[in-house]
């Protein structure tokens, strides 16, 4: 079964109210629980595409997790190999390396501990207290990228 079958599209409230509000605040320098605006070049157009994301830090390393699955920004990230994280006027260029499924459970658990109230519905009942087996089961459905900042 293709992982793209598991994509959860954001609802109207998320698309029209929540994401624009978080992006608005983040663009003005106010991070909401680690929020950033991700800018990544489109794999077909080459134009910058933006979306609000939650930047996860675990053991001093930074990660981007795709709660809704294999969506446009994840496809673009694979093609571009990196992008920019925006917070107000601060711009951080970065490279991105996709994390293998077997390394994701710890990262998914940490992500859900921090943002379950916001994104828990996209994880099919799996939460921060779920078993390692459950986290391994959903790992292929949620791309995770290790972010390495290359410029400020």
Q: What is the predicted pLDDT for the residue at 67?
A: 95
Distant-in-sequence, close-in-space partners of 59: CB < 8 Å, separation ≥ 6: none
25 within some domain: no
Q: What is the predicted pLDDT for the residue at 8?
A: 57
CB 127 within 8 A of CB 72: no
CATH assignment of the domain containing 126: 2.30.110.10
Per residue of the chain (152 residues), give pLDDT as tens: 334 444 555 565 555 566 666 666 666 555 565 689 999 999 999 999 999 899 999 999 999 999 999 999 999 999 999 999 998 889 999 999 999 999 999 999 999 999 898 888 899 899 999 999 999 999 999 999 999 999 65
CB 99 within 8 A of CB 146: yes
Count structural domains, the chain. 1
1 within some domain: no
4 within some domain: no
Q: What is the predicted pLDDT for the residue at 2?
A: 39
Q: What is the predicted pLDDT for the residue at 93?
A: 97
């Amino acid at each position: 079964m293709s992982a793209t079958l598991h994509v959860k599209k954001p609802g109207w409230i998320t698309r029209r109210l929540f994401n624009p509000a978080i992006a608005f605040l983040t663009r003005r320098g106010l991070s909401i629980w680690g929020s950033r605006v991700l800018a990544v070049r489109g794999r077909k157009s080459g134009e910058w595409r933006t979306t609000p994301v939650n930047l996860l830090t675990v053991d001093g390393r930074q990660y981007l997790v795709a709660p809704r699955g294999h969506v446009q920004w994840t496809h673009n990230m694979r093609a571009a190999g990196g992008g920019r994280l925006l917070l107000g006027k601060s711009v951080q260029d970065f490279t991105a390396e996709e994390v293998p499924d077997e390394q994701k459970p710890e990262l998914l658990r940490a992500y859900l501990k921090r943002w379950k109230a916001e994104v828990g519905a996209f994880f099919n009942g799996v939460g921060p207290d779920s078993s390692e087996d459950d986290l391994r089961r959903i790992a292929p459905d949620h791309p995770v990228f290790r972010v390495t900042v290359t410029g400020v």
